Amino acid sequence: MTAATLESALASLGVPCVVEAEQRLAILRPTVQGSSFAKPAVRARIVALALEHGFTHVALDLADVQTTGERAGAVVSGD
Amino acid sequence: MVAWLKEFGSAAVGFSGGVDSAYLACVAIDVLGIESVLAIIGRSASYPAEQWATARAVADRFGVPVLEVDTEEMLDPRYVANPTNRCYFCKTELWSRLAPIAQARGLAILVDGTNSDDLADHRPGAAAAREHGVRSPLAELGFTKADIRALSHERGIPTWSQPSSPCLSSRIPYGTAVTPDRLARVEAAERALRALGIAGDLRVRHHGELARVELAPGELERWLGADVTSLREAVREAGYARVALDLRGFRSGSLNILGGVTAA
């Protein structure tokens, strides 16, 4: 379980984030705005990746997040 | 349930105003009458004010006699340390106060609202109930949460659609001390989110300066597709420096999973 490897996996998915680990909680801070967290399929893949990397919880840091669904989102590989 | 209650003739009900204990209290009143039932609310910093208001409203509407007692689990260092069996110490305090009251008033039995679904959960508080002779007719008779909601609806008990609302300490990860300040911050944050119109299951989980918000699936979709500024600011104003939205949404016992008490 490392934040770094999850960061790499998320970047490959097209959702670049800084990952902060607190026990088994992964806190994601997107490095680009407009990531498509609202899309259930994208979210499911993010959660699956987090679980694969040993986390049980994954949360989106809302510090500077803009999640408006209508906004052009990051392209997610295979999405 | 009618036969079960009649066998005892009178009862004290551990009453939180939640779905289960509200139903149990209302049935007990119907079966045994107001002279033979007493609903007892244990109040402390971990008991949400909103829940108390619901309890009082249900009691007033259905004629349930209520007694309120203060519980002092916050003075027990074993509880405050927040071990995985924290609930045992809380319930020990609760039932050790309620059992003598029931006895002094000549009530034949002390009951709680544990239902049959609860039996599968991590519930160290159940041991404290057993030690104090508390019975759980809903669980013993096989009533599930869904059953209780449906039956409450039939009776017009307003809690039928109310989200489950465990004590505020369930928002604090095991091993992190339970303090009045932390409980107050969680309660304020959840109240602020409700004021935004957030419906259904909702938890603000405390992770130091970060609040992790768990929403019901529909609300999670809605907020991830909207401007989250109002949500974030509502939680910040409650005293959290950082706010995060859990991408898996609400999960009952979420901190049991995080603490390794139950499987992910």
pLDDT at site B228: 92
Question: Does the residue A22 lie in any domain?
Answer: yes
Residue whose C-alpha is closest to residue A73's, from B211, B224, B185: B224
* Two tokens, residue A71: 């906004």
Inter-residue contact B259 to B174 (CB < 8 Å) = yes
Distance, CA of A45 to CA of B185 (rounded, Å): 32
How many other C-beta atoms can be found within 10 angstroms of the C-beta atom of residue B31? 18
pLDDT per position as a tens digit, B174-183? 999 999 999 9
pLDDT per position as a tens digit, B187-222? 999 999 999 999 999 999 999 999 999 999 999 999
Residue whose C-alpha is closest to residue B42's, from B96, B94, B101, B88: B94
Distance, CA of B24 to CA of B114 (rounded, Å): 10
Distance, CA of B258 to CA of A57 (rounded, Å): 7
Q: What is the DSSP letter of B203?
A: E
Question: Does the residue A65 lie in any domain?
Answer: no
Q: How many domains does chain A have?
A: 1
pLDDT at site B262: 67
Cβ distance A22 to B207 less than 8 Å, yes or no, reads: yes
Contacts of A28 in chain B (CB under 8 A): 247
Question: Does the residue A71 lie in any domain?
Answer: no
Residue whose C-alpha is closest to residue B15's, from B6, B5, B25: B25
Contacts of B231 in chain A (CB under 8 A): 62
- Does residue A55 register a pLDDT over 80? yes
- Does residue A77 register a pLDDT over 50? no
Cβ distance A47 to B248 less than 8 Å, yes or no, reads: yes
pLDDT at site A65: 63
Domain that holds residue A50: 3-60
Cβ distance A62 to B244 less than 8 Å, yes or no, reads: yes
Average pLDDT over residues B74-97: 96
Residue whose C-alpha is closest to residue B105's, from B56, B37, B14: B37
Inter-residue contact A19 to A10 (CB < 8 Å) = yes
CATH label of the domain that carries residue A45: 3.30.70
Q: Give residues 3 to 22 of B whose Cβ lies within 8 Å of A.
A: none
pLDDT at site B54: 95
Distance, CA of B67 to CA of B61 (rounded, Å): 16
Quickly state the pLDDT bin for A1 (edges 50, 70, 90): low
Contacts of A73 (CB under 8 A, 6+ apart): A34, A35, A36, A39
pLDDT at site A71: 40
pLDDT per position as a tens digit, A6-42? 999 999 999 999 999 998 999 999 998 766 888 899 9
Quickly state the pLDDT bin for B172 (edges 50, 70, 90): very high
Interface test with B, best of A45, A60, A64, A76 (most B CBs within 10 A): A60
Question: Does the residue A44 lie in any domain?
Answer: yes
Quickly state the pLDDT bin for A66 (edges 50, 70, 90): low
Question: Does the residue A74 lie in any domain?
Answer: no
Which domains, ranges and CATH numbers included, belong to chain B?
2-161 (3.40.50.620), 168-258 (3.30.300)
Question: Does the residue A13 lie in any domain?
Answer: yes
Quickly state the pLDDT bin for B254 (edges 50, 70, 90): confident
Question: Does the residue A79 lie in any domain?
Answer: no
Is the dihedral angle over the CA atoms A57, A63, A67, A72 positive or is it negative?
negative
Cβ distance A46 to B246 less than 8 Å, yes or no, reads: no
Closest Cβ–Cβ partner in A46, A61, A67 for B244:
A61
Inter-residue contact A56 to B258 (CB < 8 Å) = yes
More confident residue, B158 or B260: B158
User: In this prediction, what percent of chain B has a pLDDT beyond 70?
Assistant: 98
Question: Does the residue A51 lie in any domain?
Answer: yes
Q: DSSP 3-state assignment of B251? A: coil
